[in-house]
Chains A and B, each alone.
Chain A
Amino acid sequence: MFDSYLENTLLYYPQKCINCLRCTQVCPHGVFAEGKEHAELMQPAACMECGACVRNCPVQAIEVQSGVGCAWAMISAALRGKGMDSGECGCGGEQMSCCGGGAKESFSNREEMSTPED
């Protein structure tokens, strides 16, 4: 009941898939997995709408309304009278950064991590 993350905007059209497996390589949450004739959608609820699969699918077999899941950016956009989705992640901004501290570090030296999927 109190899980806001059960639904997302991810859509997959397996009939379009050419089985290049790009989506399985780029998804950081294992949402797609290798299948026999096409990629399989394994755990759609884990999608964080990063948009990596959409951008890298050569045949537009995936759709997602990607964006930054940053409450601060959304609330401040709403307070400024703009649409919530117009809020940009504060990364790189002078005053506030939603991930400027390097949280979303790629190729980082993070070790033994575990995603909180309680």
Chain B
Amino acid sequence: MDDDKKSSLSCSCASGYDTTSFIDLTHNKLVSELRTVTGKLTLNDRFDHFLARWGMNRMGHIVKPGLYKMGRPNADSPVLVSANYTLSFDAVRSALAGTDCYILVLDTKGVNVWCAAGKGTFGTEELVHRIAWSGLSSIVSHRNLILPQLGAPGISAHEVQRRSGFRVEYGPVRASDLPEYIKTRKATPEMRRVQFSFKDRLVLTPVELVHVALPTLVAAIILYLLTGPLAALAAITAVLAGTVFFPALLPIIPTHDLSTKGLILGVIFAIPFAISFAANPIMPLWTDLLKSLVPLLIMPALTAYLALNFTGCTTFTSRTGVKKEIYRYVPVMVLMAGSGILILVLLGAIWLMEVI
């Protein structure tokens, strides 16, 4: 397969083809490839995860699609299905360290299971194709596949069974629950619920930060040159509030909508700047008041916008809800930021006139 050939950045733990044991298992039926993998994560793997978390080489965190074996599986061993994104695949194999099993890796173009299911690449078509291509039916005697629960938006279990003869079982949401699931073949309601812990939210912050780093830096430099270090610091603070503090504090900020949460957080972070801008004894009171309005208008708008964009990272926002948020709050954000910028321009003009 072309795509397979292209994906040269395969998992560092995959030690390549294993045709001999494979031929034994398949009664001399030659099938494409069976790779061997262990449950141990190497330093290289961890470095790859680190880069993935920082959004670096975004499309490079891939493993080759196909069938992998872990330990010493036989024809009765379970078959798990995963995505060819290193974070997904490595979560499965490290959770299953010490278990004899097969892992069927779908070609999701280096995207994690849930997102790939939403896009359709972790989908019925791809699964049916991989089952046939890997010769799975001649490797295992049973006809069961354990899929990640979050792959369900892309997979139609009854359709897969109809087309391939394999029965789809949805395993737990979290890889850490896999050993327990494999033992009992039952997922508790707790295992079925997706959650969004402090740690989950925190690991997302680097990639959010990286996305906005360059424009923030440019804005900070311009503001520094125009008005001084405090304005530059205000810009950086608003961005940090939206990309780091917002995800970290998400459940404890009041209100439900992400935009209003962002507005609240933005105001809190803007207050110290508003106070410092207003505390200028030389300037007349009304210019001080106008100056203090600038951070109170621009910073919350910026933080709220970044907060709104976090909807794509959360585990609970619906498209209907996000659309409502956009219609409700984007005009407010634009109005706030626009008035803030207008006041800034006005203050600049006054200052220029005084200089002249």
Q: Which residues of A contact B (CB under 8 A)?
A: 2-5, 7-9, 22, 24-30, 46-53, 55-56, 58, 65-75, 78, 84-85, 88-94, 96-118
Contacts and interface: CB of A to CB of B under 8 A. Distances in A.
Interface stretch (B153-161, B282-290, B291-299): B153-161
A46 B187 CA distance: 20
A101 B308 contact: no
Interface string B186-228: 0101001111110110011011100100000000000000000
A89 B260 contact: no
Contacts of B110: 92
A107 B152 contact: no
Contact of A68 (B59, B156, B319, B328): B319
B318 A47 contact: yes
B87 A56 contact: no
Contact of A74 (B118, B197, B326): B326
Most buried by B among A27, A52, A66, A74: A52
Contacts of B153: 50-52, 55, 66
B55 interface: yes
Contacts of B82: 107
Interface of B: 52-53, 55, 58-59, 80, 82-83, 85, 87-88, 91-92, 94-95, 109-119, 148-158, 170-176, 178, 187, 189, 192-197, 199-200, 203-204, 206-208, 211, 250-252, 254-257, 260, 308-309, 311-326, 328, 330
Contact of B197 (A3, A85, A89, A114): A114
A70 B315 CA distance: 11
A111 B256 contact: no
Tell me if B's interface is mostly helix, strand, loop or mixed.
helix
Contacts of A92: 58-59, 109-111, 115, 119
Contacts of A4: 256-257, 321-322, 324-325, 328
Closest 5 CB pairs of A and B: A98-B312, A113-B195, A70-B312, A106-B150, A104-B114
B312 A106 contact: no
A96 B118 contact: no
Contacts of B117: 52, 106
A58 B314 CA distance: 28
Contacts of A104: 112-115, 118, 150, 313, 315
Contacts of B208: 101
A30 B85 contact: no
Nearest to A48: B318
B94 A22 contact: no
